[in-house]
Amino acid sequence: MFHTDDTPSDPAFYKELLDHMSDGVYFVDRDRCIHYWNQGATRLSGYKAYEMLGRHCQDNILCHVDAAGRRLCEEGCPLSASIHDGGLHEANVFLRHKQGRRLPVNVRVQPMRNSDGFIIGAIEIFSDDSAQHEVRRQKAAMERLAFLDHLTHLPNRRYMEMSLHTASSEFEVHKDPFGLLVVDLDKFKEINDTFGHSSGDRALQEVAHTLSGALRPADTVGRWGGDEFLAIVRNVDRINLRMLAERCIALVRETSITTDNGRPIHLSISVGAALSHLGEKPTSLIHRADELMYQSKTNGRCRATTE
């Protein structure tokens, strides 16, 4: 049974109730000045109530940031949004603990109103989101790894197949032209047989890095398999396609690796370049570009062949 001074009508009852919550709870007025800070907020942030009361969100003590690193206390604050639009807001953010570490938290914000319905501030409830954040991080990592070539850190064959189908579909609808480069590292077997697989791996990595820098931001380059790479180049005509292929060849030609015993190996590539045709299946486009690449091989390597 409650004593008289412990009844739910006593404000101290509610304060004690909030202090026993595992979640952090705090209240701000319309100027985002903090007027209440519970013990749960202290446990999660490291800051005691006397350190926070009277301070403003704009003081950036907790330094809330989103996953992109945007400082929410300065722009995009859920408390500010709730005060201005009267709505409920929820977000997954990171606060800075008093000891300096970053803590992922889930925040839920709602406006507080007086008896006349006027918004007088907002209350934020935040909880430790570490476990869910780790689950999301692992899921994102697995998704990323499923489309990543572990050796070159370029998109893998599966990702390139999906990207090629997307480019083909967009071409059919919007008529945005694109082309395909099939790139083969010259004398890869010779490098492996003569200098070992570690040198072959380094050669592939250097070519991957060079191709990524040679192409434009809108283009997509990935490892197709073995010593072959594929590049989807968008919004090009035959002249632009040829220029991009020649740029890749020229930059790789200036690239070299050093073997384990210090011997330099100069690298080169052979390229086949084909423009997409309306109604053409991706497999047909790959076949055409692949045939052109083999023509480059037959004609002496370190060159591009286009239609």
- Report the candidate in 110, 130, 132 with the shortest Cα–Cα distance to residue 120: 110
Average per-residue pLDDT for the chain: 89
Question: What is the pLDDT averaged over residues 283-292?
Answer: 97
Q: What is the DSSP string of 85-115?
A: H---EEEEEEEE-TTS-EEEEEEEEEEEE-T
Any idea which of 9-23, 32-46, 197-211 has the lowest mean pLDDT?
9-23
Query: Are 84 and 153 in the same domain?
Result: no
Q: What is the pLDDT of residue 14?
A: 65
Query: Are 95 and 165 in the same domain?
Result: no
Tell me the CA distances in angstroms from 188 to 75, 197, 207, 269, one per residue in order: 52, 10, 11, 10
Any idea which of 13-27, 49-63, 198-212 has the lowest mean pLDDT?
13-27
Q: Does 68 reside within a domain?
A: yes
Is residue 129 very low, low, confident or very high in pLDDT (cuts 50, 70, 90)? confident
Q: Does 140 reside within a domain?
A: no
Q: What is the pLDDT of residue 137?
A: 76
Distance from C-alpha of 41 to C-alpha of 107, rounded to nearest angstrom = 12
Q: Does 248 reside within a domain?
A: yes
Give the list of residues 6+ apart from residue 22 with CB closer than 8 angstroms, or none: 40, 43, 127
Q: What is the pLDDT of residue 77?
A: 87
Per-residue model confidence as pLDDT tens digits over 86-113: 999 999 899 989 988 888 899 999 999 9
Query: Are 222 and 281 in the same domain?
Result: yes
Question: What is the pLDDT averaged over residues 122-144?
Answer: 80
Q: Does 142 reside within a domain?
A: no
Query: Are 222 and 115 in the same domain?
Result: no
Q: Does 141 reside within a domain?
A: no
Query: Are 51 and 106 in the same domain?
Result: yes
Is residue 13 very low, low, confident or very high in pLDDT (cuts 50, 70, 90)? low
Query: Last residue of a domain, which of 115, 135, 155?
Result: 135
Domain hosting 191: range is: 147-306
Query: Are 81 and 188 in the same domain?
Result: no
Query: Are 193 and 44 in the same domain?
Result: no
Per-residue model confidence as pLDDT tens digits over 215-250: 988 899 999 999 999 999 999 999 999 999 999 999
Per-residue model confidence as pLDDT tens digits over 141-178: 767 788 999 899 899 999 999 999 999 998 988 888 89
Question: What is the pLDDT averaged over residues 123-127?
Answer: 93
Evaluate if residue 1 carries a pLDDT over 50.
no
Query: Last residue of a domain, which of 92, 109, 135?
Result: 135
- Report the candidate in 134, 169, 118, 125 with the shortest Cα–Cα distance to residue 276: 169
Distance from C-alpha of 84 to C-alpha of 265, rounded to nearest angstrom = 64
How many separate domains does the chain show? Answer: 2
Query: Last residue of a domain, which of 135, 157, 181?
Result: 135
- CB-CB contact of 88 with 109 (8 Å): yes
Q: What is the pLDDT of residue 5?
A: 46
Q: What is the pLDDT of residue 11?
A: 65
Distance from C-alpha of 26 to C-alpha of 211, rounded to nearest angstrom = 52
Q: What is the pLDDT of residue 7?
A: 46
Distance from C-alpha of 193 to C-alpha of 139, rounded to nearest angstrom = 39
Q: What is the pLDDT of residue 173?
A: 86
Q: What is the pLDDT of residue 141?
A: 77
Question: What is the pLDDT averaged over residues 7-15?
Answer: 61
Query: Are 196 and 57 in the same domain?
Result: no
Query: Are 91 and 204 in the same domain?
Result: no
- CB-CB contact of 299 with 291 (8 Å): no
